[in-house]
Structures are given as structure tokens and as C-alpha cells.
Structure 1
Amino acid sequence: MALIIAGERSGVGKTTVTLMLLAYLSQRLQVQVQSFKVGPDYIDPMFHQYVTKRPCRNLDPILTNDAYVKQSFERHSRGVDCALVEGVMGLFDGATGIDDTASTAHIARLLKLPVLLAIDCSRLSRSVAAIAHGYRSFDPRVKIAGVVLNRVSSDRHLQFLKEALESIQLPILGVLRRADDLTIPDRHLGLVPTAEITQLDQLIDKFARLGETCFDWERLLPLLKGVRSLNVTTQDDKKIADATRSTSLRIAVACDRAFSFYYPDNLEILTQLGAEIVYWSPLTDPDLPENIQGLYFGGGFPEVFAQQLAENKSARVAVKTAIEQGMPTYAECGGLMYLSQAIVDFEQKSWSMVGVIPATAIMDARLTLGYRQATVLQSPLFKTGTAIWGHEFHRSRLNQTPTKPLYKLQGYNSSSLVLEGWQAYQVHASYLHLHFGGNLEIPQQFIQRCLKFRESQVSAPN
């Protein structure tokens, strides 16, 4: 079996509960545990991986599809002792707002997994039973294995909660006391990434110690151990294997504190298709890696490190030169910002960037968030008319509309259309985050473009 950690709403402590469980299992019991995260989030999985030393896998049926979610869970749960899934928002909160599509409940039903429900008890006593009963009865197809009571203030408070839950006979599998020193720092896009937290080891060690005493492990371990097979045929493995060629390609992937938003599946699929991934840092490396045929810029926090990116002029010049020479380049969100003319940070300071996109990225308070269906207008990676699903999550905007937009974007259950994305040279740059698991043509086309670029470089006169 495996277990899903869900919340009755956002902000109840799902990530804290998950990290305590992962830390105790990995550090104290020293078992192999595979973690998963429902939805498109990048930062929570960084914490999972930091604890388990294994890449956390996103389970997102919109960015991919139901079949891929089942295949991914099956593939990555093989050979481990335990599997743990962190949910998203409230248990039944889906992408549409009117049903539970892509919700934690959706994944629980799809994978046939029991749910551990975290409840914020800071302003509750007897009402906790009504909440728990409501969640257990709302959809009988979702099995609530028990609850974790979070932010319990005192022994007397805990007694009230226990007495209330006895009336509905729902097991209490964990109790977390109110503790201000267990807070993970956050900023404008959520938690601060692991690479920027200096005392993270001490925090994880505290999570492990508390995890040992805060949970009913006699009941929890049977739910976690012995991950059963879903008997899924992994067709995508065969598709990737059939498409794999010995390409000897090298793709430079920007990876540092400014650029860290990558789905592990995306990089692994590129590798399976024959590419060698070469990591480099636009923050600190003076030049691009040698002998590369493609560039990949993921999302992240370039606005936080805009001054350092601007000061590394040699790297910016190297990127611009490579792009002007026709090197295929894929950029998402923060990558798009880096390729623009400049970034204007929250303090209204302007910092020069690469400059291949004729627009400036300006930070503001407005959050752009949600799934988008994109219809391709023109792109070096897609056929015109192709429809794909992606996700936006940013607090910046460009001061120019694209003259040759990549997409027409439409929000989930929305009729409004927006033109978005930039094409220049062989650049595909957009605010849209894509998951290659549901769109194998993206990495395949990228590889083909890189091969053509390599051929053009070989045949070019000296």
C-alpha cells in the first residue's frame, strides 16, 4: 500500500506532515521511500527529494493524463519499501472549481490509495468531528484511513478533540502540537527553495525526531509498506524506447538558485531520447558548456538574483551569441524572463538580461495562476494547431505583446483567449510550464531541432 496526505483546505500543514513522515522513514527507520506530489508544484518536491534522496514525481492528470499518472506511480514505486503522496489544496479541490478534476481525491480514486487527512485544529474543539465526518462521507469512493490533528495547543485541547472523534470512530494517526519553530520560510511564489535555506539539515532532523513521537506508527506502517502493483502497462516506456536513437547530443540545462523548476521526468525523457544533459549556472559560470547543441532554461527565481545574473555579462553574451547562431532553445517562465531585455524587480530596479526577446519582464503584486489550454500558432517545437495543457504561476509580466505569439491560451473553464509566448531564431519561450510526460512530441521535436543544428554546424564553412 501507499498513503496520500491530504488537507481539509490549503494551509493546514500538509507539507509539514509529509516531511515529518518522510524524515522519520528515511533517517530513523532508514527505509527506501518514494514520494509523489499531486499537481504542478516544483518547490514541495524539492523538499521531498532533499529528505529521501530520490526525485519526487508529480502526479498531474491535466499536464499529462490519467494513464500517465498511473504509469508514473507504478514505475517509480517499484522496489521501494514505502510510497507517500502529498496532496494539493483541500482534498476535493480540483482545477475547475466546480468538480474535483486533478484534486487529491481524484488521485486517491485513480490509484486506489487511502487518505490521511490533516486538520488544522487551532480554532476547533468538538467541531473537528463534523469536519472529519463530512470529509469521510462526502465521497464514499475515497477512503479516509485516519486524521492528523495539527496545531493542537494543549493537553486539554487534545482531550476535547479525542472525545469528539470517538463519536465517529475515526482513528487519530498523528498529533502535532503548535510550534512556531517548524515553519519553512516562504516568499511571493510559495516556499523558499531548499538551496536557499541555510539551516535546512537542522530543520529536517527536527522533523525526523518529532515524526517518531507524533504519529501512531503501529497503524501507519501497514498502510505504507508493501506497495502493491496496479498492473499498468507502461506504453510510454515503449514509445520512448522506440524513439530512442544514439544521438550524442549535449543539451545545456540552466540549473542553480535562479533556475530550479524542472520536472525530473522532462530531463529523464530527454536523456532516454539520447541527449546528454549538461548542467551549468547562468549565475556563476562565465561561459556555456563546450560542444552543446541545445539550451533549456526552466523556471525559478531570476527576479531574486537579477543583479547577479546581470553582472555575469559573459554568460549573457554567450547565450545570446549561441541563440543568434541558431541554437535550439526551450525556455519556461523564469527562462523567458532571462532571455528578455531586462528584469525590473520588486524595488523597481532594472537589470539587463540576455536580450533576444524584445520585451522587459516587470515584477508586480498580481499573481497569474492556473492551468491553460494552449493552441499552437507557430513554434519551432510544435505543429500549428496542436493543443496542449500547461500551467502558469508567476508575478511578472512583459511590457510588450509578442509580435509572433506561440499560443492562444484559454484558462480552464474559461472562454477568454490570450496571445502568449515568444519565438525568435530557434527559441521557444513562454510563461507556460509543460510536462513532457503527456506530450512526447515536445522533447522529440526538440531533439530533432538540435540534430539539425549540429548538422548545420558540421557542414558550415570554416
Structure 2
Amino acid sequence: MAIIIAGERSGVGKTTVTLALLAALKARSPSNQTLVQSFKVGPDYIDPMFHSYITGLPCRNLDPVLTSEDYVRSCFAKHSRSAEYSLIEGVMGLFDGATGKDDTASTAHIARLLNVPVVLILNCASTSRSIAAIAHGYRTFDPRIQIAGVVLNRVGSDRHLELLTQALEPLNLPILGVLRRQDNIAIPDRHLGLIPTAEMSDLNGIIDRLAYLGETCFDWEKLLPLMGSPHPLSHGDRGVIVAPHLLREMGLGGGGLRIAIAQDKAFSFYYADNLDLFREMGAELVPWSPISDRTLPENIQGLYFGGGFPEVFAAELTENKTARESVYKAIAVGVPTYAECGGLMYLCDHIVDFEDKSFPMVNIFATAAKMGKRLTLGYRQAIALRDSPLVKKGDQVWGHEFHRSSLTEISDRPLYSLQGYDSHLQYPTEGWQKHQVHASYNHLHFGSQRHLLSRFLVNCQKSNN
């Protein structure tokens, strides 16, 4: 069993409540050995970094669009079975889905799939008795959703709390937590959300304050039984592991494949499940830093550049000329390379930041990545227009875009034609393919698209023969 933290809307305090609960759970263990497994609904990268920093375990994304309903069930069962407590952070408002037309990929969708109770956060600012109408509406909107209780956020005073409690009493809906207005803990953010953990100098202090908030503001006698019950292993759990005979059929599994993965302040957006699948398919992921390492690691057969904030660290990436040259030479001789979003930007000729300053990059693609105010956001179904190290022409894959940059030139060899989750929404062609590079703004989850990863690794193995 677990609980899923939901909000009545975006910005109501889901992340603060989730982090406070996680921090308090860890702090309640004298030896700090309590196993707390966290999950995040949707394609988020940054919130899971905070989860993992607190729990010491990789946070797992639960996304039925990028993967599948079966994968969500099996991923949750696999990773919650050995934890003492499990906690899921929702996305947007409880019933807000991928298109707004229904609740597909919403917090409610995941709550139904996993049959877990919802803890609903209510914004109590500027309201008193009306809070009961809001809570009643959320409780009855979908009878399949079990709302275990509410957390009252932004409570102004003892008198305000008294009025809220009186209003909610007829609903017999437990109040599981109360956060005052002054309890809000500010976590700094920028153009794509929270600032990642690796860049925060006072992170431990923030975690300590969150742990105190969690310990003092929640009803643990009611919460612990909800989070601590063992969750039965679903029949789909075995689907997360790649069987050895399948690896042999793909020509993989013998070991020896070394994939250089860019991991530093500029490149940090990776799904934990994707990294696990690399290893399960016989690849060794070799971390390196395009900011601080002078060259690529030795004896590598593939390159992996995830997303992140290369625009923020563009000056440092430019300064490390030998690393850029090392990447250029590896790609030029045919090392298979997968680059998504920030990785695509790094392989461009230049990055132009928000102040219109231009910084030379690897120069594989004759275009610049220019930062702008417009946010490109959403799920994309991508239809491959040509072969790449990951896809065959005609393949259809699901991905997610989340960026404020755009490319100044259109590729003469685009990877994809795109449409949104709503199939009526069409987008321009996207992605670049050159040498043995697959580069795109589309972030991919390999959980239900493992053939893409296996094809990439097969190509890496072939390039080494």
C-alpha cells in the first residue's frame, strides 16, 4: 500500500508536503535506515532528484503515456515491495490529465490503476466554510477514488483552523495535516522548475526544516498505517526485467559494452528505469562530465547525453574545449550517440542564452539552440522519418518535450514527424540524424519501448566489431 499526494490544483503545495513527509520518515529512524520508496506521476525529472536525495533510493516515474498501464503497475509493485513505506507525488490537480479532456495520465488515473488512497491538499487561503464544498466535490467527483483525508495548507490562524475544522466535520473526512502560511519553505526555482539538488548549497538545511515540518504538522498515527502496509507483488512485475534469453537473441548480454553517460550540473535529466535497463541489457554506464572532464572516458562504444541545463552552464561547457573536441571526434568516426533535449543543444554549433550571448558547442549540427520565453511542453507521438541508432523508418514512439529553446535552422534530415497526445494537433518535423547520432528534443522512457534501447546497444556493439 502507499498514499498518493494530490492537489486540488497546481501550485497548492504537493512537492512541499511530499518532501516534508519523506524527510520526516527518514528522520524518524534513529539509524536513518528506514527504506522509503518514492514515486512521481508524470515525466518530471527535478522533483524526483529531491525525493532521491532524501530517501537514498531512486525515485520512479509512473507515466502511462510514456510507458503503459501495465508497466506502471509492475514498476510500482517491483519497487514498493521491499520498502517499509511508499509515497507517490501526484501531478497538477487531481483530475487534470494529459489533454484536459479526460483524466488520462492524471493523479486520479494512477490512483485507480494502483488502488491507492489519495491524500488531498487543499489551499485554505481566503476561504473558511467553503472548504467543505471543495472537499465534498473532490470526494464525490469520481467514486472510484478513495480520498483518505486532507491536508490543510496556508492556514492563517488558530481561529481560521477552527472554522475549517468545523466546516469539514460533517464530511467525516480526516484532517491528516495542517500547514500554516508561515510554514511554507521556499525552494528556489528558474525557467524549468525547481533548481536541481546538485546546485543548492543549503540543501541539507532545507531538508532539516522540511523534516521538522513533517514531524510537527502531520497526524502520523493515521498516516503510517496507510503508507506502511505491504503491497502484493503484481503478476506484471517480472516484465520490468529483461530475460537473459532475450538478451542473447538481441546479441547482447555478454558484457563489455561501455556507454559514456554525461552526468553533471549541465546534464542530469535521466529516468532511473532507463539507467536500470541499460545495465540489465549488459551495458556499463560510465559517468563523465562535459564541464570538468577534459576528454571522454576510454574504450567506449556509445555516447548518451540526457537533458538538463546546458544553457545555464554554457560558458563552462565552452571553456572545456578539449571535451568538445573529444566528443566531435568520437561522433565523426561513427560512435553511436543518443542525445535528447539538452544533449541535442550541446551537439549544436552554438547555444544562445537568455541574454543573447552565444557560446560555441560541439558543432555536429549546423544550427544554434536559442533560448526564448516560449515554453514547449507536452507528450508527442513521433513517427520516424529515417533510420537512426534507435529507430527504424516508420517506427512510432512516445516522448515528452519540455524546453524553452528552439533551433535556428531546420534539419535537412529530420528524425520525426510529430503529433500531440490529441492526434488533431500536428507539429513541425523535429530531431536531427547525422553520422550515428540520434538527437531530439523528445525525452524517451524505454520501459515499454525497450526495442529502442536494444537497437541502440546492438548498434554500439556493431560499431565496436
Which residue of 2 is the match for residue 458 of structure 1?
none
Unaligned runs of 5+ in 1: 456-462
- 1:28-107 equivalence runs, <5 A: 28-29=28-29, 30=32, 31-107=34-110
Contact 2:390–2:456 (CA under 8 A) maintained in structure 1: yes
Deviates more, 1:109-118 or 1:376-385: 376-385
Is 1:374–2:377 an aligned residue pair?
Answer: no
User: What whole-Å deviation, never above 9, does each CA across 1:407-437 have from its counterpart, x for those lacking one?
Assistant: 0110111332320000010000000000010
Which residue of 1 is the match for residue 165 of structure 2?
162
Q: Which of 286, 294, 298 is matched with 2:294 structurally?
A: 286
Specify the SS of the correspondent of 2:149: strand
Which residue of 1 is the match for residue 334 of structure 2?
326
Q: Which amino acid aligns with 1:452?
A: K
Which residue of 1 is the match for residue 373 of structure 2?
365
Specify the SS of the correspondent of 2:171: coil
Deviates more, 1:29-38 or 1:108-117: 29-38
Which residue of 2 is the match for residue 257 of structure 1?
265
- 1:441-456 equivalence runs, <5 A: 441-455=451-465
Q: CA deviation at 1:238?
A: 5.3
Q: CA deviation at 1:438?
A: 1.3
Which residue of 2 is the match for residue 395 of structure 1?
404
Aligned CA-pair RMSD: 1.1
Which consecutive aligned stretches of 4+ in structure 1 deviate over 6 angstroms post-superposition?
A: none
Specify the SS of the correspondent of 1:436: coil
Deviates more, 1:266-275 or 1:380-389: 380-389
* Number of equivalenced pairs: 455
Contact 1:240–1:273 (CA under 8 A) maintained in structure 2: no
- 1:1-16 equivalence runs, <5 A: 1-16=1-16
Which residue of 2 is the match for residue 121 of structure 1?
124
Q: Which amino acid aligns with 2:341?
A: C
How many percent identity over aligned positions? 62
Contact 1:377–1:405 (CA under 8 A) maintained in structure 2: yes
What TM-score, normalized to structure 2? 0.96
Contact 2:74–2:240 (CA under 8 A) maintained in structure 1: no
Which residue of 2 is the match for residue 196 of structure 1?
199
Q: CA deviation at 1:142?
A: 0.3
Q: CA deviation at 1:239?
A: 4.0
User: What whole-Å deviation, never above 9, does each CA across 1:173-219 have from its counterpart, x for those lacking one?
Assistant: 00011127611100000000001111110110111112111000011
Q: CA deviation at 1:383?
A: 1.5
Which residue of 2 is the match for residue 385 of structure 1?
394
User: What whole-Å deviation, never above 9, does each CA across 1:266-325 have from its counterpart, x for those lacking one?
Assistant: 111011100001000001000000110100000000000000000100000000000001
Contact 2:294–2:322 (CA under 8 A) maintained in structure 1: yes
Q: CA deviation at 1:230?
A: 4.7
Q: Which of 415, 430, 435 is matched with 2:425 structurally?
A: 415
Which residue of 1 is the match for residue 255 of structure 2?
247
Q: Which of 232, 237, 253 is matched with 1:229 structurally?
A: 232
CA distance in 2, matches of 1:47, 1:354: 31
Distance 1:83 1:180, change over 3 A: closer
Contact 1:240–1:269 (CA under 8 A) maintained in structure 2: no
CA distance in 2, matches of 1:271, 1:402: 32
Deviates more, 1:21-30 or 1:302-311: 21-30
Which residue of 1 is the match for residue 441 of structure 2?
431
User: What whole-Å deviation, never above 9, does each CA across 1:314-373 have from its counterpart, x for those lacking one?
Assistant: 000000000001000000000000000000000000000000011100000000000000
CA distance in 2, matches of 1:6, 1:230: 24
What TM-score, normalized to structure 1? 0.97
Contact 1:28–1:208 (CA under 8 A) maintained in structure 2: no
CA distance in 1, matches of 2:353, 2:220: 47
Contact 2:118–2:149 (CA under 8 A) maintained in structure 1: yes
Q: Which amino acid aligns with 2:86?
A: A
CA distance in 2, matches of 1:37, 1:63: 13
CA distance in 1, matches of 2:240, 2:106: 26
Unaligned runs of 5+ in 2: 248-252
Which residue of 2 is the match for residue 459 of structure 1?
none
User: What whole-Å deviation, never above 9, does each CA across 1:235-267 have from its counterpart, x for those lacking one?
Assistant: 524544333311311000000000000001111
Specify the SS of the correspondent of 1:296: strand
Specify the SS of the correspondent of 2:464: helix
CA distance in 1, matches of 2:338, 2:35: 34
Contact 2:67–2:445 (CA under 8 A) maintained in structure 1: yes
User: What whole-Å deviation, never above 9, does each CA across 1:30-87 have from its counterpart, x for those lacking one?
Assistant: 4211000000000000000000000000000000000000010011012110110000
Q: Which amino acid aligns with 2:8?
A: E
CA distance in 2, matches of 1:153, 1:116: 21
CA distance in 2, matches of 1:242, 1:215: 49
Q: CA deviation at 1:127?
A: 1.1
Q: CA deviation at 1:233?
A: 2.7
Q: Which amino acid aligns with 1:267?
A: L
Which residue of 1 is the match for residue 25 of structure 2?
25
Distance 1:203 1:72, change over 3 A: same
Q: Which amino acid aligns with 1:37?
A: K
Q: Which amino acid aligns with 1:5?
A: I
CA distance in 2, matches of 1:377, 1:384: 5
Q: Which amino acid aligns with 1:422?
A: W
